[in-house]
Amino acid sequence: MKQSLLFIPTLREMPKEAEAISHKILLKGGYIKQNAAGVYTYLPLGYRVIKKIENIIREELDNIGCSELLMPALQLKDLWVESGRWDNYGKELMRLKDRHDRDFCLGPTHEEVITSIVRDTVTSYKKLPIALYQIQTKFRDEFRPRFGLMRGREFIMKDLYTFSTTQEDLDEWYLKVRGAYQNILNRLELNYRIVRADSGNIGGKSSEEFMILCDIGEDTIVYSDSSDFASNTELYDLKDGDPSPDGIGTIKTAKGIEAGHIFKLGAKYSEPMKAMFIDKDGKQKPIIMGCYGIGISRLLMAVLEQHYKGDKAVWPKEIRPFDVHILPLDKEGTPNYQVALDLCDKLKKKGYDVLFDDRSESPGVKFKDADLIGIKNRVIVGRKASDGIIEFEDLENNNNEEITIEKLLEMEF
Ligand code: ATP
Ligand code: MG
């Protein structure tokens, strides 16, 4: 990809609104742009990373038998009255009227819509279980939008809903999804804990949160240093150094960002909304549901918050916007520029995503922008290119060496 064709509006000055380092890096690097409090544009570079995160999620969910659909963001009030949430959801719900004075909301979550779809189409145990998910924009009028994408008023979420005939089947789905979430967060190279949690506005009996450990997190979690025990502090009164309640290890506390939340809903929506099925025994029963969310735009920042180096974005391998960034220092038309172009072609043939700085800018400007963008593997094609030597920089490991083009082409990125 030619850099001149990719819209990367990097900033030299730091916007005042940014508090978190990941937020600063995303704004300065031309990854995102704020449009209003808690409302952002994902610029081409940021959107490339978002799409890579989405695809990891798709792969892992498709792998356990879920199917993707896309529901409307615009939702009728009537459904929310049926579930009882029109009055309970509070001010976070973005409400609006159409020209005929009918009430709608912009979906903060989709239990009502998905339950209405399934109740209209599934009547027998023979059609169950099913697991349906979407990747979609959600709206919540948060009291205090914060830290850029961490707490937005418009944000991208993956929401999955499972429909089972029995509690046992729900338990199985819950574990499968839990495993898929672990795979997703592992592929994103995140340090996280799974904690038991309060079910909040969505409800249901039991739920767990996937907490990314990081200092700007809004939640405090307690966890054992030697076992899987971890919990939200809302549920336990524990402090650093206490023995872990499961008898294994000592308690530590940490700040966490909630990246995902999984719930066993049971019949919380199917009962009031009458999503019923006829079971093998001929009896009519409510469908047993589970729901599972991951904040995708929140992850864009949370991943960076754990991965930045100095003031540079260094993304986990699977979601780098590009694998290699090539900076030719000589002008277009020179032999050295041609060497850079040939190298770019060869890397592309090997299957790598390459960003090629074809702009007629000074080396100083190219370096500055490359630092702001922060692609891990950087190749500088300078004076020695005619001798087959380039400079290779690894931002993650802070390495900088002169190597031959042959050697570079043998490397794995
Ligand atoms: P929080 O406690 O942070 O408000 P929540 O419990 O309201 O989160 P859920 O309703 O479970 O969140 O939504 C599923 C996921 O969507 C969350 O785990 C989080 O990653 C993401 N999410 C929720 N609210 C926001 C928001 N305002 N901005 C960005 N992502 C969000
Ligand atoms: Mg919330």
Q: Going by CA atoms, what residue is nearest to atom 14 of ligand 1?
A: 293
Residues paired with residue 253 on neighbouring β-strands, in sequence order: 222
Please answer whether residues 379 and 350 qualify as being in contact, where contact means their C-beta atoms are separated by less than 8 angstroms.
no
How high is the pLDDT of residue 52?
Answer: 98
Q: How far apart are CA 355 and CA 4, in angstroms?
A: 10
Amino acid code (one letter) for 266: G
Q: What is the mean pLDDT of residues 164-172?
A: 97
How high is the pLDDT of residue 365?
Answer: 97
| 153 token code pair | 């008023």
Mean pLDDT value across the chain: 95
For a ligand 1 pocket test, name from 91, 109, 157 the mutation site with the most ligand atoms within 8 angstroms of its C-beta.
Answer: 157
Give, rounded to a whole angstrom, the gap between the first and last alpha carbons of the chain: 17
The DSSP secondary structure of 4-39, one letter per residue, reads: GGS-----SSPPTT--SHHHHHHHHTTSEEEEETTE
The pTM assigned to this predicted structure is 0.96
- Res. 203: pLDDT tops 90: no
Ligand 1 contacts CB of residue 156 (under 6 A): no
User: Which atom of ligand 1 sits closest to the CA of residue 293?
Assistant: 14
Ligand 1 contacts CB of residue 256 (under 6 A): no
How high is the pLDDT of residue 17?
Answer: 78
CA atoms within 13 A on the CB side of 141: 10
Q: What is the mean pLDDT of residues 267-290?
A: 97
Please answer whether residues 56 and 319 qualify as being in contact, where contact means their C-beta atoms are separated by less than 8 angstroms.
yes
Confidence of residue 313 (pLDDT cuts 50, 70, 90): very high
Ligand 1 contacts CB of residue 295 (under 6 A): yes
In whole angstroms, how far apart are CA 379 and each of 224, 303, 348? 43, 25, 14
Smallest-distance ligand from the CA of 138? 1
Q: Burial level of 125, CB count in 10 A (0-12/13-18/19+)?
A: middle
Pairing between β-strand 130-139 and β-strand 67-68 as defined by DSSP bridges: parallel
- Res. 235: pLDDT tops 80: no
Confidence of residue 234 (pLDDT cuts 50, 70, 90): confident
Tens of pLDDT, residues 93-140? 999 999 999 999 999 999 999 999 999 999 999 999 999 999 999 999
Please answer whether residues 402 and 391 qualify as being in contact, where contact means their C-beta atoms are separated by less than 8 angstroms.
yes
User: Which atom of ligand 1 sits closest to the CA of residue 259?
Assistant: 20
- Res. 179: pLDDT tops 70: yes
Q: Going by CA atoms, what residue is nearest to atom 26 of ligand 1?
A: 151
Q: Which domains does the chain have, with CATH numbers?
A: 3-307 (3.30.930.10), 322-410 (3.40.50.800)
How high is the pLDDT of residue 24?
Answer: 95
| 247 token code pair | 């008898």
Confidence of residue 74 (pLDDT cuts 50, 70, 90): very high
Tens of pLDDT, residues 343-365? 999 999 999 999 999 999 999 99
Ligand 1 contacts CB of residue 312 (under 6 A): no
Amino acid code (one letter) for 9: P
Smallest-distance ligand from the CA of 209? 1
How high is the pLDDT of residue 205?
Answer: 57
How high is the pLDDT of residue 232?
Answer: 84
Higher per-residue pLDDT: 12 or 181: 181
